[in-house]
């Protein structure tokens, strides 16, 4: 038997999934939880093979709960089932230990297949989720390609090198014989070209892609 714990803050959803599970000879629903406290108590008191986990649990975060389960109950498999089709949520859930991710609009047959797959220790993503992941990877590769092809003006390159040396705006202005306002303009242009919001991230990216040492 695959012992399943359903976690969703909408009780009507867990009750509906439970009704579906009752029709399967190899499934046993050991609990329905609406928040993190209930999940932790259930995992401490009952044997669970697979947790069907939503991301949005009202005041609680399914992302954090996923990490907690992975760290404290390593034998428990986690299948995320959410309405969120955003790549960042999918990636974070997988990084936090989920073996699978499916969307709530999935059909009953795929849900059952996903649970059985995850229970066997294998990864499972629905076709729609895989498409989201692949598009994200393609977009990331394009962004990396763009970062290797950034074009700088001579002044931007000089300002970048001085930033790497830890120079202040005033010191850079003095070294380059330009105004502090002009230095700030060049720095703003650099932040824009690297698509970052602060100098720390700018330096990290510039070093990673070989623009400064």
Kindly report the length of the chain: 213
Question: What's the DSSP call for residue 47?
Answer: -
* Mean pLDDT of the 113-126 span: 92
Q: Which of 87, 76, 86, 80 has its CA nearest to residue 102? A: 80
pLDDT greater than 80 at residue 120:
yes
Mean pLDDT over the full length of the chain: 88
Q: Which among 24, 27, 23, 133 has a CA at the least distance from the CA of 6? A: 27
Cβ atoms of 176 and 183 within 8 Å: the answer is yes
The token pair that represents 120 in the structure block: 């066997």
Span 67-91, pLDDT tens digits: 999 999 999 999 998 887 777 788 8
> What is the C-alpha to C-alpha distance for residues 13 and 20, in angstroms, rounded to an integer?
11
> What integer pLDDT is reported at residue 129 of this predicted model?
64
pLDDT for 88:
78
46-66 per-position pLDDT tens digit: 999 999 999 988 888 999 999
**Cβ contact 30:4 at 8 Å:** yes
Q: What is the pLDDT of residue 78?
A: 96
CA distance 189 to 180: 14
Instruction: Output the pLDDT for position 104.
Output: 87
Describe the crossing of helices 154-164 and 180-194 by its angle, rounded to 10 degrees.
Answer: 90
Q: Is the pTM of this model over 0.75?
A: no
Q: Are 55 and 84 in contact (CB under 8 A)?
A: yes
pLDDT score for 30: 95
Segment 85-110 mean pLDDT: 87
Q: At what angle do helices 62-72 and 36-45 cross, to 10 degrees?
A: 20
Q: Which residues pair with 33 in a beta bridge?
A: 7
| Helices of type H across 61-153 | 62-72, 87-95, 108-119, 127-147
């Amino acid at each position: 038997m695959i012992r399943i714990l359903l976690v969703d803050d909408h009780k009507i959803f867990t009750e509906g999934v439970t009704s579906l599970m009752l029709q399967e000879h190899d499934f046993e629903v050991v609990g329905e939880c609406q928040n993190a406290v209930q999940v932790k108590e259930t995992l401490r008191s009952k044997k669970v093979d697979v947790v069907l986990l939503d991301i949005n649990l009202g005041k609680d975060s399914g992302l954090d709960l996923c990490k907690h389960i992975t760290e404290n109950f390593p034998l428990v498999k986690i299948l995320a089932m959410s309405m969120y089709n955003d790549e960042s949520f999918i990636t974070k859930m997988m990084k936090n230990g989920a073996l699978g991710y499916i969307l709530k609009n999935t059909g009953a047959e795929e849900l059952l297949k996903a649970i059985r797959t995850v229970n066997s220790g294998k990864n499972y993503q629905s076709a729609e989720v895989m498409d989201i992941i692949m598009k994200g990877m393609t977009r990331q590769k394009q962004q990396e390609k763009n970062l290797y092809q950034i074009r700088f003006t001579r002044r931007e390159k000089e300002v970048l090198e001085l930033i790497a040396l830890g120079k202040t705006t005033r010191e850079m202005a003095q070294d380059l014989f330009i105004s502090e306002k002009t230095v700030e303009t060049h720095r703003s242009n650099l932040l824009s070209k690297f698509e970052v919001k602060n100098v720390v991230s700018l330096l990290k990216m510039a070093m990673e892609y070989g623009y400064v040492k």
